[in-house]
Amino acid sequence: MFAGSVLVAALIFGTPAAAQSGGENYARVRAAYEAEASAYWRQIGEKRRLRAEKRRRGETLTLNDYVLVQPPVYSGPLRPPGPPLPSEPRRPDMPVVADFLKHAAEEFGFVPRRPVNELEYKRAYARAALDAGLTREQAVGIYAFETGGNGNYDTQAGLIGKGTRAISPALGYNQLLSTNTVGLLAEHGETLIALLSKKAAALSGPPKAAMLGKIDALERMVAFSRTVPNRWSEHDKLAKTTRGGMGIHAAVLDLDLGPWLQARKLMTSLHFARARGHKATLSAAELELMNFTGDGNGIDMVSMPPALRERVPTANFFQQEGYERNPIARRTEVVAALIADIAARAERGRRQPGAQDLDAAFVDVGR
């Protein structure tokens, strides 16, 4: 089927290296790998489409509905130094918190109200989570996994702990993607505006004026999120390719908006699971699985029989780019190992000070 490393090795040794420059050899071998990888990921996508059709018809999924081999792995020569090759389109730089804030101010006049300390945000998050219907165990477990148990409210993927390079726009306690932020405002903007309007009615003086200004900016952000069809692919393009889309993501940093958005995202996953017939309460690891891979992929794994979990590769539940930058999915290889890894990481993270503080915030707010 797919044997990327074997194919690449054959190409490397099939032509004497002395007959080509390093760049030509690399380009040829890399192109062969890319062709094989593209074929693999096309089959992943086709199997995913067919599984969705079977689920709609109420049919039981079997091993035949999944790709059962691991993705091809590039094992050819290293890329030689020099300018990008024609086959290597330059990827745009990953935006970071400073970019989200800049675009929010310029496009919408929005400056998030930041917490005075981490505990203030944790309490706001606990309150939003409980109001939404999440359990303390679910919310703390997801925080413990996503941030290692010590993440801050403005933590970005790749910059957690000793990380030095952002690998995703994901922010916050449950690492909300910029695409999620755009989609949540598009779908639930009126609910959030009503929530802030209720808060504004109880205020006076400068705090009231500040809240009304925030509502005005929020209305513009909601309107912008609805300039495209209500589809993930359209929200993704808006979030990643426009200044307004990047600016919307700054809402996660706001003390009034961020906790609500993150809690709403997790509740959306719970509603999705119930709508697909999963009546049992999701554990923190199961809910995180949906948060980690998307609702459709997550519920597929949550509802999968144990015998299939041991055989089905994790690659079935990712896009190629997401899989390649996700070391956990690559290392665990199959669904059973991925679920076990999530549970173990969450358990370790729960023992960290940040997770302990969040747990205490849930207890205090619950009173």
The model's pTM is 0.84
With contact defined as beta carbons under 8 Å apart, do 248 and 224 qualify?
yes
Q: Which helix (H) or strand (E) holds 172?
A: none
Q: Does residue 128 sit in the same domain as residue 45? A: no
CA distance 72 to 307: 24
With contact defined as beta carbons under 8 Å apart, do 300 and 65 qualify?
no
Query: 325 is written with which tokens?
Result: 């930058």
Q: Does residue 308 sit in the same domain as residue 198? A: yes
Does residue 238 sit within a domain? yes
Does residue 85 sit within a domain? no
Query: Domain count of the chain?
Result: 2
With contact defined as beta carbons under 8 Å apart, do 158 and 147 qualify?
no
pLDDT digits (tens, 9 = 90+) for 304-349: 999 999 999 999 999 898 898 888 999 999 999 999 999 999 999 9
Does residue 200 sit within a domain? yes
CA terminus-to-terminus distance, the chain: 58
pLDDT bucket at 26, cuts 50 / 70 / 90: confident
Range(s) of the domain holding residue 20: 4-65
- Tracing tokens 């929010």 back to the chain, one arrives at 104
pLDDT of amino acid 80: 78
* Mean pLDDT computed over every residue of the chain: 89
pLDDT of 53 above 70: yes
CB under 8 Å to 60, separation ≥6 — which residues?
54
Once rounded to an integer, what is the mean pLDDT over residues 8-14?
42
Once rounded to an integer, what is the mean pLDDT over residues 217-233?
97
Does residue 83 sit within a domain? no
pLDDT bucket at 10, cuts 50 / 70 / 90: very low
